[in-house]
Chains A and B, each alone.
Chain A
């Protein structure tokens, strides 16, 4: 009886492991052959093209990382996926959009240029204000979201807040569509930061453009990530967040205001998503109600890729996903239409071989 049960218990496990290994080897060998083919046989792309892919990947990856941190923070503390997070980012994009539009409407004439507006007279201040507005709007959204959609369900079964999150996502999309019309709007950048302008760098005999907006986005996202790390590791708020993540009840017994900490988490993750949203607008240029959906899904993927609940994991996951999306199809020599397939395939592979993500999900003891 015991022998039988142990056999029937072990064999499927072994079979599963063999199947996994075989699939893994096949996929890796296939990918290696394709990459070898592209790099050395066809030599389809020069160094300049690879640099271009890399730049695109890093810029978008930085934004994914910022949004992914929001998923990971909330998961770490509440153990739920905030599926309305993409919409929080979209709200941030709109916040920045309206501030830039308003600033562009304020005249700031000088003797040399009577048509000058505030936006172009003070580009740095304007961008700063736009980021401020975007982060504020998104933090407020995050705060309200938690208050209205998640707090009443704090002790409900696990699926209830998930459904509530999806509902909130749909509600926010439609609310924004009704408020601001479904039309696509163009982000107004200051002339100094016009999209498509930047530094030209000569690589392998061709000029590679590094856009100002891209550099701004990337540098800012790195700064914000460093800032967040310091916040979580070195400050009182961060310590409280880590405590709540480890054990809500014990943290409460030690005098930590759990509700306040959860609210703060949503505000922080909203602020990061809002900043990513304004970057998205400034760099990519379009803003509309459905804008947050795809980055939201991608950032969720990035968070899982890096190990959900793990902050450095979300950062790494975001950057890796951005790079895989932009380099992957070219490296494998397939159509860019399939870039999402590659991104999600990588996710599936990571989940098969490292179910806890690249850096490992935080277990209950070491969340965050």
Chain B
């Protein structure tokens, strides 16, 4: 009895020692297995042992009312993982954790992902609130983030080293639209209208300021009451100022009525210029011929070869067309693919057969992303982590279809 007990305890001890020994071996001063980069790296290295996967984390709403966003974006990311193949015999893996889109959820998921040493980068988070809560946690351990969809402008102003995003903010969209109206379309007299929402008003103000600073004249800046059925009166007031184009910050329901009513209030020749809120099939359906020549901002990328290939792969894998669950499907692919590309660039295969990924170097690599060609555009991150340098994709209606604007 006693003997058996001792054997049992000895066995346990051996097992404990055995499980500890590899970590002892990974000590840089040890067998020299870990590369020298790990010692000099500010955050050390992530060590992936053979048989383990290189993990990309994601915090996303996977349950609740906004679940379609998390499910869709993570599915887009899974395609990127499949496309990425292997790195020195190591596979990639995307682990999407449910943060339900809230700040508390974001912090909880961040703490969970930080605890896993094989997580090397974060594709996310999805919602701005959850992202803001997660940033400080990743900051401490040096996990680079690349968000597909957090658009709240202040996120990039927090001075974080790890936070980056490929979603364009409303500020970028507004500047882009104002510049496009003045320079590409040659508009000099612009009427600006919004629906009174934070989103619409914010966009409208940025467009107004951008357009004015370029030297254009904003002849009217007004708000309408959202969800009405008839806007001929406010449009008649705008028509009296004889603008060449009408910028509208708001959503499709009001935008479509405006585009229709413009044709009967003396604004027949003015261009309707919308935003990402007025893009979509609904706008085409409701405006018909009145919509021709209208502009909007699209989150759906143009039909490049790689996009067509992705669409086919996505539909084959998940049975729905990309863009139906959320407009960020392609962004989901892009963030995961870009992170994997940067991991591949910094990863070092150790002489001991383990894969080492210097965390600090990866943080810098993601921030220094340059001319990366994704499905949704070309990404070059600036010093604050705003990576969408190509700006939003402008589309216009020709013959009842959205086409990419020149």
Using CB atoms and an 8 Å cutoff, list the residues of chain A in contact with chain B: 44-46, 48-49, 52-53, 55-57, 60, 184, 186, 195-196, 198, 206-209, 211, 280, 283-286, 291, 294, 325-327, 329-330, 335-337, 339-340
- Given A49-B237, A208-B266, A209-B264; A335-B229 close (CB under 8 Å): no
* Cross-chain contact B285 with A48 (CB below 8 angstroms): no
Chain B residues with Cβ under 8 A from A207's Cβ? 266
Chain A residues with Cβ under 8 A from B266's Cβ? 48-49, 52, 206-209
- Given A45-B237, A196-B260; A52-B229 close (CB under 8 Å): no
* Cross-chain contact A340 with B260 (CB below 8 angstroms): no
Taking the closest CB of chain A, its distance from the CB of B308, in whole angstroms, is: 29
- Given A57-B233, A294-B228; A49-B240 close (CB under 8 Å): yes
CA A186 – CA B241 in complex, angstroms? 31
The total of Cβ contacts below 8 Å across the A-B interface reads 90
Chain A residues with Cβ under 8 A from B286's Cβ? 184, 186, 285-286
* Cross-chain contact A186 with B285 (CB below 8 angstroms): yes
* Cross-chain contact B236 with A53 (CB below 8 angstroms): yes
A-B residue pairs in contact (CB < 8 Å), sample of 22: A44-B240, A46-B240, A52-B232, A53-B236, A53-B237, A56-B233, A184-B286, A196-B260, A196-B263, A206-B266, A208-B266, A209-B264, A209-B266, A284-B230, A285-B286, A294-B227, A294-B228, A330-B237, A335-B222, A336-B224, A336-B237, A337-B223
Tell me which of B227, B236, B253 contacts A49 (CB under 8 A): B236
- Given A45-B240, A206-B266; A337-B260 close (CB under 8 Å): no
Which residues of B, 219-267, contact A by the 8 Å Cβ criterion?
222-225, 227-230, 232-234, 236-237, 239-241, 253, 257, 260-261, 263-266
Chain B residues with Cβ under 8 A from A198's Cβ? 264
- B41-72: CB near A (< 8 Å → 1, else 0) gives 00000000000000000000000000000000
* Cross-chain contact A286 with B222 (CB below 8 angstroms): no
Using A49-B237, A337-B222, A339-B225 as known contacts, list a sample of 16 further A-B pairs with CB atoms less than 8 Å apart, ordered by residue number in A. A45-B237, A46-B240, A52-B239, A56-B233, A57-B233, A60-B230, A184-B286, A186-B286, A196-B263, A196-B290, A286-B253, A294-B228, A325-B233, A330-B236, A335-B222, A336-B223
CB of B196 within 8 Å of the partner chain: yes
* Cross-chain contact A56 with B225 (CB below 8 angstroms): no
Chain B residues with Cβ under 8 A from A329's Cβ? 233-234, 237
CA A234 – CA B227 in complex, angstroms? 41
CA A41 – CA B283 in complex, angstroms? 40
The residue in chain A whose Cβ has the minimal distance to the Cβ of B228 is A294
Using CB atoms and an 8 Å cutoff, list the residues of chain B in contact with chain A: 196, 222-225, 227-230, 232-234, 236-237, 239-241, 253, 257, 260-261, 263-266, 282, 285-286, 290
Chain A residues with Cβ under 8 A from B224's Cβ? 336-337
Among A186, A195, A285, A337, the most chain B Cβ lie within 10 Å of the Cβ of: A337
* Cross-chain contact A336 with B234 (CB below 8 angstroms): yes
Chain B residues with Cβ under 8 A from A280's Cβ? 229
CA A44 – CA B219 in complex, angstroms? 11
Taking the closest CB of chain B, its distance from the CB of A99, in whole angstroms, is: 20
* Cross-chain contact B236 with A184 (CB below 8 angstroms): no
CA A284 – CA B232 in complex, angstroms? 10
CA A45 – CA B265 in complex, angstroms? 13
In the A-B complex, the 4 residue pairs with the closest CB atoms: A336-B234, A337-B223, A284-B229, A52-B236
Chain B residues with Cβ under 8 A from A326's Cβ? 232-233
Chain A residues with Cβ under 8 A from B241's Cβ? 44
The residue in chain B whose Cβ has the minimal distance to the Cβ of A48 is B266
Chain A residues with Cβ under 8 A from B263's Cβ? 196
Tell me which of B225, B233, B234, B285 contacts A340 (CB under 8 A): B225
